[in-house]
Amino acid sequence: MSDSHKYCPSLIDYKRRETIEVNIGGVPMGANNPIRVQSMTTVDTMDTEGSIEQSIRMVESGCEYVRITAPSIKEAQNLEEIKRGLRAKGYQVPLVADIHFTPNAAELAAKIVEKVRVNPGNYADKKKFEELAYTDETYELELKRIRQKFEPLVKLCKEHGTAMRIGTNHGSLSDRIMGRFGDTPLGMVESALEFLRICEDLEFYDIVISMKASNTRVMVQAYRLLVHKLEEEGLRPYPLHLGVTEAGDGEDGRIKSAVGIGALLEDGLGDTVRVSLTEEPEFEAPVAQALVDRYSDRAGHGAIAPLAESPVNPFVYERRVTQEVLNLGDHNVPRVIADFSKKGKIEIKDLKEIGHFYLPEPDKWRMNDTGADYIYSGINPIEFMLPNGLQEIIDYSVWKDLSDQNNKYPLVTIDELSTVDKEQVTFVSMEANELNKIDQLQGHTQAIILLHTANKHAMASLRRFVFELIIKELTLPIVINWHQEISDKEDFQLASATDIGGLLIDGLGDGVMLAGNGNKKVENETAFGILQAARTRMTKTEYISCPSCGRTLFDLQETTAMIRKRTDHLKGVKIGIMGCIVNGPGEMADADYGYVGSGKDKITLYRGQEVVKRAVHSDYAVDELIQIIKDDGSWVEPEAIDAILN
Ligand code: SF4
């Protein structure tokens, strides 16, 4: 890796980034400590018993730190009661106070809990959404003002042995940062560095940093850039707290978290993980732990070929330049191939699992939003006529004798490739360590590489292969062929999303073929879920919903479920659902529509970042939201057929 692109210890060997150790109430983080798991309560902080009970459930589920919101002095004060209650019941878990806007609450909390999280976007600034142009002079004055506000907290933390997280959030950058750097990974990094420089100047180093966003691409780039900038500026290697904000719920939330958090863990970044789900907080730690556990025996993986310099810029997204073969590569969205090669005889009804439905009346095929693009049938060619939109891949040994090869393509090994005509559309199976065979692809203009790896360090091994193609200027499309025998659905989703997501985030990969779970519906939907989470192919409505916390102004889980029920047929529309205003407007930059709590039973509705309706009663807010979507012409009625298909 060239110095100008360095962000992790190695792109080929699994190694954790070396960091300083930060002590948080006797549970140290960073250095050689395990990657810690944490979460945040959702009950009102003034509900002492509720907070204690929920914290205990979180600890029992694996949480090593418990974060609790402190929106004002009275909640900060109540942290003392919560802490006392937990200790009395024998729970020593370190507590973290979550602060937005209120330095006085932070200063009080710093004397009570083991760690304070500040959001540099709103600690010293009230967001006014003003576009301000700063000269170097006025910018300097702003930094002085921030220091005045922030310095007392740093001094208190130092005095009381309280750690701090400087937690930047893409959705709540200050007007100052937005004015100078925009809504960018660099803006996020600079937002944290402004605060970090003050801490270092005051010789306070018990700091953890985070760079969260709901957009996985932005989030990954921001963490990488942060590591790079810390080193470039000679600042200490502080531990990283990883998280994707507003990941949503259920499978989508898990897959999205795995794509973002996993991409960083693969490169050895991250010292603590918080998975944010719009669910009860005790469901978060097991997911975080499953992501972290993948690295417990990662060191000592199979060797990956050395790499002199990475051919991609890890701080910006650029899709690998490829040529179009069939509907793969170039500007096509990544395609999904369903692997039925182990199935034996394939029947019409089997295609239901991959989104293609045969309706005897009116004798037609219909496809839902997650209809696979290709099916790989191995040595068992499909005997019925395939629906439009589905093409077949067959092992070469069988394909070559077929009388009808229309919409059917051969799969060869790289060693068989020389027997195939150079102009023939051909899928070529390759193992990621076969770098020495890449030259055999030269001259084949219609080949599509189906790339797999047996290496435990899968993402890095696959990436290394793609890098070699870039270095050799070969532009054939690549489909990632990921196969691991994991029958547990959630484990399968987390592992595949981590390995494949890490590639897609860097623009590497023109399709995916997933197998190993055994359930074809799970494999197919996971493939589409990963593409969506990595923002490469949008096939369903995306819900950017916050996990909720003590600030939440309505029942987030219930509301998200209700909005999902009415809108989840809207392909590609992004809806933000935020419990309060803290991250609301910022995250709206990433959403098409927003539903944000603004007071008791009161909702503010957004179109992008623009407020469309204020103070709508929650009884009517979902209807109003749908009306806004209709007024924009973005609404479609759910087809009656969807009821049959799903
Ligand atoms: S956006 Fe949600 S999780 Fe974040 S502070 Fe508001 S209510 Fe809490």
Inform me whether the pLDDT recorded for 125 exceeds 90: no
8 A C-beta contact, residue 244 and residue 214:
yes
- How close is the Cα of 549 to the center of ligand 1, in Å? 6
Tokens of 144: 């002085």
Cβ proximity of 40 and 556 under 8 Å: no
The stretches of 31-110 forming alpha helices (DSSP H) are 48-60, 73-88, 103-109
Backbone φ and ψ of 246, nearest 5°: 45, 45
Look at residue 550 in the predicted model and tell me its pLDDT: 80
Cβ-contact 338, 375 below 8 angstroms:
yes
Distance of CA 306 to the CA centre of its chain: 28
Percent of the chain with pLDDT over 90: 78
For the CA of 100, the closest atom of ligand 1 is: 5
pLDDT given for residue 409 in this prediction: 97
Measured CA distances, 272 to 121, 239, 516, 572, 607 (Å): 21, 8, 29, 32, 34
Model confidence pLDDT, tens digit, residues 443-479: 999 999 999 999 999 999 999 999 999 999 999 999 9
Pocket flag, ligand 1, residue 105 (CB < 6 Å): no
Q: Would you give the distance in Å from CA 225 to the centre of its chain? A: 17
Q: Ligand 1 atom closest to Cα of 276?
A: 3
Determine whether the shortest distance from the Cβ of 612 to ligand 1 is under 6 A: no
Residue 172 has pLDDT above 70, yes or no: yes
Give yes or no for residue 640 having a pLDDT over 50: no
In this predicted model, what pLDDT tens digit does every residue of 306-338 receive, in sequence order? 999 999 999 999 999 999 999 999 999 999 999
Sequence-distant (6+) residues with CB within 8 A of 638 are 569
Ligand 1, atom 8: nearest CA belongs to which residue? 549
How many angstroms is it from 166 CA to the middle of ligand 1? 17
- Ligand 1 center from residue 77 Cα (angstroms): 20
Structure token pair of residue 62 = 């694996």
Identify the pLDDT of residue 150: 97
Instruction: Tell me what pLDDT residue 12 has.
Output: 97
Determine the Cα–Cα distance for residues 60 and 57; give it in Å rounded to an integer: 5
- Residue length, the chain? 646
What's the mean per-residue pLDDT of the chain?
93
45 lines ligand 1 (CB under 6 A): no
Select from 43, 69, 102, 583 the residue to mutate for testing ligand 1; criterion: most ligand atoms less than 8 Å from CB: 583
Lateral strand order in the sheet of 163-169: 207-212, 163-169, 115-118, 95-99, 65-69, 36-40, 272-273, 241-242
Which residue type, as a one-letter code, is found at position 219?
Answer: M
Is the CB of 594 within 6 Å of ligand 1?
no
Give Rg (Cα) of the chain. Answer: 26
> Which helix (H) or strand (E) element contains residue 366?
strand 364-367
Which amino acid is it at 177?
A: I
Inter-residue contact 75 to 550 (CB < 8 Å): yes
Is the pLDDT confidence value at 589 over 80? no
Q: Among residues 271, 197, 274, which one has the least CA distance to residue 230? A: 197
552 Cβ closer than 6 Å to some ligand 1 atom: yes
- CA-closest candidate to residue 515, choices 447, 434, 452: 452
Which residue's C-alpha comes closest to atom 3 of ligand 1?
548
Name the pLDDT band for 584 (thresholds 50, 70, 90): low
Who's near 245: CB < 8 A, 6+ residues apart? Answer: 169, 170, 171, 212, 213, 214, 276, 546, 583, 587
Percent of the chain with pLDDT over 70: 96
pLDDT of residue 641: 45
CB of 580 closer than 6 A to ligand 1?
Answer: yes
Whole-angstrom distance, CA of residue 246 vs CA of residue 170: 11
Q: Is 578 in the pocket of ligand 1 (CB under 6 A)?
A: yes
- Return the structure tokens found at 568: 């989840």
Q: Where are the beta strands (DSSP E) in 15-162?
A: 36-40, 65-69, 95-99, 115-118
C-beta contacts of 579-582 below 8 A and 24+ residues apart: 579/546, 579/548, 579/549, 579/551, 579/552, 579/553, 579/554, 580/551, 580/552, 580/553, 582/100, 582/101, 582/119, 582/122, 582/172, 582/551
Pairing of strands 602-607, 593-599: antiparallel
Minimum-distance ligand 1 atom for the alpha carbon of 579 = 7
Give residue 155's pLDDT. Answer: 98
Q: Which is more confidently placed, 249 or 106?
A: 106
Q: How confident is the model at residue 160 (pLDDT cuts 50, 70, 90)?
A: very high
- The C-alpha atoms of residue 95 and residue 24 are separated, in whole angstroms, by 9
Q: Is 572 left (phi over 0), alpha (psi -120 to 50) or beta?
A: left
Helix (H) or strand (E) holding 169: strand 163-169
Pairing of β 593-599 and β 241-242: unpaired
Q: Compute the distance between CA of residue 412 and CA of residue 397 in angstroms, rounded to an integer.
A: 8
277 Cβ inside 6 Å of ligand 1 = no
Q: For residue 164, what is the enclosing H or E element?
A: strand 163-169
User: What tens digit of pLDDT does each residue of 189-200 get?
Assistant: 999 999 999 999
Could you tell me the distance, in angstroms and rounded to a whole number, from the CA of residue 174 to the centre of ligand 1? 17
| Integer Cα distance of 292 and 262 in angstroms | 9
Please give the distance, rounded to the nearest whole angstrom, from the Cα atom of residue 355 to the centre of ligand 1.
Answer: 36
Is 374 or 580 the better-scoring residue by pLDDT?
A: 374
Q: Distance from the CA of 606 to the center of ligand 1, in angstroms?
A: 17
Kindly give the distance from the C-alpha atom of residue 587 to the centroid of ligand 1, in angstroms, as a whole number: 11
Q: Kindly tell me if the per-residue pLDDT of 392 is higher than 70.
A: yes
Which tens digits make up the pLDDT trace of 254-307?
Answer: 999 999 999 999 999 999 999 999 899 999 999 999 999 999 999 999 999 999
Rounded distance from Cα 324 to ligand 1 centre (Å) = 43
**Cα 474 to Cα 466: distance, rounded to the nearest angstrom:** 9
Does 508 score more than 80 pLDDT? yes
Distance CA 547, CA 275 (A): 9
Q: How far is the CA of 245 from the centre of ligand 1 (A)?
A: 10
Answer whether 491's CB lies under 8 Å from 254's CB. Answer: no
Average pLDDT of the segment spanning 375-396: 95
Q: Is the CA virtual torsion 490, 496, 499, 503 positive or negative?
A: negative
| 8 Å CB contact between 373 and 357 | no
* Rounded Cα–Cα distance for residues 69 and 41 (Å): 8
Ligand 1 contacts CB of residue 546 (under 6 A): yes
Q: What's the confidence (pLDDT) of residue 94?
A: 98
Smallest Cα–Cα separation from 96: which of 582, 550, 585?
550
Atom of ligand 1 nearest to the CA of 584: 1
Pairing of strands 364-367, 356-359: antiparallel
pTM higher than 0.85, yes or no?
yes
Confidence of residue 134 (pLDDT cuts 50, 70, 90): confident
Q: How confident is the model at residue 642 (pLDDT cuts 50, 70, 90)?
A: low
Distance 453 CA to ligand 1 centre (A): 40
d(CA 63, CA 39): 6
- Angle in degrees, CA 68, 252, 564, rounded to 5: 90
Instruction: Give me the DSSP letters along 280-343.
Output: -GGGHHHHHHHHHHTTTTTTTPPP----SS-SS-TTS--PPP---BTTBSTTSPPEEEEE-TTS
Q: Is 167 helix (H, G, I), strand (E, B) or coil?
A: strand
Q: Which amino acid is at 2?
A: S
CA 583 to ligand 1: nearest atom: 1
Per-residue pLDDT reduced to its tens digit, 87-120 = 999 999 999 999 988 999 999 999 999 999 999 9
**298 contacts 268 by C-beta, under 8 angstroms:** no
* C-beta neighbour count of 280 within 10 angstroms: 16
Is residue 582 within 6 Å of ligand 1 at its C-beta? Answer: yes
Output the CA–CA distances (angstroms, integers) from residue 224 to 264, 295, 314, 532, in the order listed: 8, 19, 7, 22
Orientation angle between helical segments 458-471 and 489-504, nearest 10 degrees: 30
Ligand 1 mean position to 546 CA, how many Å?
6
407: left (phi over 0), alpha (psi -120 to 50) or beta: left
pLDDT at residue number 555: 83
d(CA 280, CA 272): 20
Q: Is the pLDDT of residue 646 over 60?
A: no
With a 6 Å cutoff on the Cβ, whether 219 touches ligand 1 is: no
399 Cβ neighbours under 8 A, 6+ residues apart: 381, 405, 408, 409, 410, 411
